[in-house]
Each structure stands twice: as C-alpha cells, then as structure tokens.
Amino acid sequence: MPFTGSWHTLLEECDALPAEATLVTPLTETRFHITDSQEHRVVIEFVDSGDSQPLQRDQFATLAERIEEVGGTFDLSRLPPDAEPYAAVLSLHPRYECDERAGTITATDDPTSSQLVESTPTAADEKRVEPDLDVYADMLLLIDALERHDPTALAECETPVLINLYTLCSDVQRNAGDLRQSVRERLLDRLHHDQPVHGQYGSVQRTTRRNRTLKDDKEVLGVLENAGVPREQVMGIDREKVDDALDVTDLPESAVYDIEERAYVRKADVDDEHKQTRLQGLKDRLTASDDPEAEQLREEVEALERRIEELTEFTPGTEVGSRS
C-alpha cells in the first residue's frame, strides 16, 4: 500500500495540533513538541534537553512497512535507538495506535482515539490522585519528618524522633523493595537484549546470572573416571578440584554441574541532576502556601503522620534497669 496518502494525512494531523501539544514516546515516556512539518520531514524538539531532531518521511514509510509485514502489530522494542519518536508521531495518524502497556504499535481499519498527545492540562487533569501504595504513604511521612528534623544532627534528636525516623526508613526500604521487585518482573518481559534502555532518571539493562550446582557425587565421579580423571583427584567433590579437572579435559561444565540461568534487571546509570531538579520542584510545591495542591498534600501528610505516631509514640519509664 503506497505511503503517500498516509504521509499527507499524517502531516495534516501534525499541522492540526495546538502549539502547546506535547507528545510522549511510548516506552521511555520522553516528551517532545512538533516544531515544524514539511513535505519530506517532521521536526521535533525534546522538552527536557531542548534538542531538535528531524524525522524523515522515508523512515516513517519504513516503519509502516514493518508494521504491515508483521501482520499489523509491531513490537516497539525492536526499534533502533532514538527511533521511538517515529512511533509516537505515527500514532497521530487515525489508522495507527500505540499501546504503551503492550509496547506495540498497531495498524487498524478503525479510527483510533489514543494518540499519545498531551495538551495544556485542564484543572480536572491536574487533580492529583493518591496511589494506594504503602510506600507512598511512608515516603510522605518520611519527607515531612526530614523537613522538621535535621538528619545531619541526629545526636540532638529526641528518642521518639529517632524511633519515628528509623521506623519510616525501614518501612520505605521494605515497601520500596516490594515495588521494585514488581517493576523488575514487568521489565524482564520488555527488555530483550543486553543494551541499556533509558528513562528520564536513569537506564536499565537485561543481564543474566549463572548459578552452578554440583550433580550427585556418584554421577560426577563416574563421568570424571570415564574421562580419565582418578577418583582420588576429586574425592570429596571439592568445587575447586572439579574445576581444575575440567580444565584438563574436554568435558563441558554441564557434565558435572546443574546450571541454572536467571535473568534480572541491573541498574546501569542514574541521572542525579534530573532527580534533584524534580525533587526540588516537589519541595517548592510543598512550601508554596498559596498552592491548593500543596495544601492538600500537607493535609494528607499530617493525617498520615497522626496515624503512624499513634503506633510509634511511647512514654519512657523512669527506670529501665538498675544494679545494686
């Protein structure tokens, strides 16, 4: 199917966008604006970096061909680096739709409604929804506690304050670990190679850890004896001796080891500057007394703090123990 008609439709959709419209890439959620649409390309500008990038017509045509070749649904993880904006812009076309959760872009005969476009948010859009997560409540409490008590002067803090700080830090660590594990399980389904995949705050990559477990003693000794290794040389099935024996034979590791490979996600990089900028913005919102959202957040913090103080507050006795 010729791409010419689709290209002209896509240009019309780009031209119809409001000036403040922001597009978001479906995997890394990188925000950008369309600054110009021309006969052979679309020019975009990334919100965070301010860098411009021309998106060429022939690359859009290639992406459309790939979608058609695989039956109408294309896995976005197969895109080359820096090609995500092509999918986001192509999704403006009424016949293409990005599914952020599935990580795919699909060609359909029916007009689509999901175009991955953010315009200037309305008051209803700006209403913040509190997530139903334990780690969220714990972090709000910890933020509030750290703002009221100097963590660099712990020696000057009262015992109940230290108990509250310790409890909150412990809860945040535990609940954040649970959330991290859930996120890791989802990431493993989306990371299909060992190259870093980037987000706003850092990057991750898929890697593999190998665990070796010696097989049954009789099986190991039998295999080694058949290979000409005396039983006495590895008697006791010492791992180092077995490894030494493998070095002088043609036996593969799998002959004496049960090998299990487990995939996991390893943090590859952290964008501390971006994190600090975001955290400073949150702090400014909290301290702005005329900001209704900040006032709502402070009320939630105070309510949550009262709940946890009921559990952590105690009155110390006059005497814990004594010696005569």
Structure confidence at residue 320 (pLDDT): 37
Least confident of 34-48, 147-161, 275-289: 275-289
Segments in the chain forming alpha helices (H):
4-16, 57-69, 84-90, 134-148, 159-190, 217-226, 239-247, 272-287, 292-312
- 305-309 average pLDDT score: 56
Structure confidence at residue 57 (pLDDT): 92
Which two structure tokens, joined as six digits, stand for 34?
A: 């369309």
Cβ-count burial of 194 within 10 angstroms (0-12 exposed, 13-18 middle, 19+ buried)? exposed
Using the predicted structure, report yes or no on whether residue 272 has a pLDDT greater than 60: yes
- Rounded Cα–Cα distance for residues 279 and 123 (Å): 23
Using the predicted structure, report yes or no on whether residue 291 has a pLDDT greater than 60: no
Structure confidence at residue 270 (pLDDT): 57
Structure confidence at residue 238 (pLDDT): 78
Q: How many angstroms separate the Cα of 269 from the Cα of each of 47, 118, 189, 193, 234? A: 21, 28, 20, 17, 43
Q: How many angstroms separate the Cα of 26 from the Cα of each of 45, 120, 143, 216? A: 16, 19, 31, 49
Structure confidence at residue 249 (pLDDT): 92
Using the predicted structure, report yes or no on whether residue 290 has a pLDDT greater than 80: no
CB 76 within 8 A of CB 86: no
Bigger pLDDT: 134 vs 83:
83
Using the predicted structure, report yes or no on whether residue 1 has a pLDDT greater than 60: no
Structure confidence at residue 30 (pLDDT): 86
Segments in 102-158 forming alpha helices (H):
134-148
Share of the chain above pLDDT 70, in %: 74
Structure confidence at residue 316 (pLDDT): 42
- Rounded Cα–Cα distance for residues 230 and 220 (Å): 12
| Mean pLDDT, the chain, whole residue set | 78
Structure confidence at residue 44 (pLDDT): 93
- Rounded Cα–Cα distance for residues 201 and 182 (Å): 18
Using the predicted structure, report yes or no on whether residue 29 has a pLDDT greater than 50: yes
Structure confidence at residue 94 (pLDDT): 85
Bigger pLDDT: 49 vs 1:
49
Using the predicted structure, report yes or no on whether residue 43 has a pLDDT greater than 90: yes
- 35-46 average pLDDT score: 91
Structure confidence at residue 322 (pLDDT): 39
- 176-188 average pLDDT score: 88
Q: How are the residues of the chain apportioned to helix, strand and coil, as percentages rounded to the nearest 5?
A: 45, 20, 35
CB 196 within 8 A of CB 251: no
Using the predicted structure, report yes or no on whether residue 213 has a pLDDT greater than 70: yes
Give CA angle at 79 (78, 80), nearest 5°.
115
Structure confidence at residue 274 (pLDDT): 61
Q: How many angstroms separate the Cα of 131 from the Cα of each of 135, 183, 287, 306? A: 10, 15, 22, 19
- 9-20 average pLDDT score: 86
pLDDT in tens, 240-257: 888 888 999 999 999 989
Q: Give the pTM.
A: 0.41
Structure confidence at residue 251 (pLDDT): 92
pLDDT in tens, 215-239: 988 898 899 989 998 888 877 677 8
